[in-house]
Amino acid sequence: MAPAPPVAGVTLVASDLDRTLIYSAAALQLTMEDARAPRLLCVEVYDRAPLSYMTEEAAALLDTLARTTVFVPTTTRTREQYHRIHLPGPPPRYAICANGGHLLVDGVSDPDWQRQVAARLASECAPLAEVRAHLLATADPAWLLKERVAEDVFAYLVVDRAALPDGWVKELAAWAGPRGWTVSLQGRKIYAVPQPLTKSAAMREVARRCGATTTLAAGDSLLDSDLLLAADHAWRPAHGELAESGWDAPNTEALEERGVAAGEEILRRFLRTTASGGRAETR
């Protein structure tokens, strides 16, 4: 009897969304002349106005990726904020929201995963109420625009970056670290997130469920660093918190592209690596 043909491996692609695959008008960073600018596709509308975009080329690449891999949108957004986004291609079976606080299966939060997350947060870090109280006590109304709690698992501030004092974020990080919390500055938002709340843990759970043999990832912020480290191969754009700090890792390639062009290039790298059987390729 002839031997059975080899079974193709399953590739899981976990990618951050904002400033990685999708971009607000302020984050596009278009550097070419207007006549040469790429055509854009709106993928998010909020308050009856377009909010987030990707290039039409990136949309076509994502459609192909979503049909040939287990594509997992991976975001710090709340579930409500995530559901505003309409990405090209088939609806993802899995999505990771609230920085790993919610694992969506066919759009619905998995209750077993929620219980696991709640148990880790209760035992491994200071409570949200303590951190939120510190944020409100130390933030100055002169630059604080909004304060929000997301999904009852983390908090963030919306600030006037021009008026934010130098060193305030570092001071907050120094206070939060010993209490088991991470601080991340992304655009106008300052996030305070429990260290046990990670995108990588949720990605590993999805990989277990779908039998992934290769994991690929991309992201631009400090809150993506654990996700990148956990993947077999990963990419980060030339903009964002990781690029500004010079963050790197052996499995992560720092791209030259920034802004919406980086979103296109990340999707190309995902597809090339998938086509090569999981071996990352450079240009």
Instruction: Give pLDDT tens digits for 49-66.
Output: 999 999 999 999 999 999
The helix/strand/coil state of 202 is: helix
Taking only the tens place, the pLDDT of each residue in 84-125 is 999 999 999 999 999 999 999 999 999 999 999 999 999 999
Q: Is the pLDDT of residue 193 over 80?
A: yes
pLDDT interval class at 2 (50, 70, 90): very low
For residues 260-267, give the mean pLDDT: 97
Q: Which of 123-127, 185-189, 210-214, 254-258 has the lowest mean pLDDT?
A: 185-189
How high is the pLDDT of residue 42?
98
Q: Is the pLDDT of residue 13 over 50?
A: yes
CA dist., res. 258 & res. 198, Å (int): 25
For residues 216-243, give the mean pLDDT: 97
For residues 14-25, give the mean pLDDT: 97
DSSP designation for 211 = T
pLDDT interval class at 177 (50, 70, 90): very high
**Torsion of the alpha carbons at 260, 265, 270 and 274, rounded to the nearest 10:** 150
How is 121-185 classified by DSSP, letter by letter?
HHHHS--HHHHHHHHHHH--TTTEEEEEEETTTEEEEEE-TTTSPTTHHHHHHHHHGGGTEEEEE
Taking only the tens place, the pLDDT of each residue in 72-83 is 999 999 999 999
Q: Which of 3-12, 110-119, 127-136, 206-215 has the lowest mean pLDDT?
A: 3-12
How high is the pLDDT of residue 4?
36
Q: Is the pLDDT of residue 282 over 90?
A: no
Q: Is the pLDDT of residue 265 over 60?
A: yes
> Going edge to edge, which strands form the sheet with 49-55?
23-24, 49-55, 40-46
pLDDT interval class at 280 (50, 70, 90): confident
Among 264, 275, 235, 224, which Cα is nearest to 69's? 275
- pTM here is 0.92
Q: Is the pLDDT of residue 8 over 70?
A: no
How high is the pLDDT of residue 33?
78
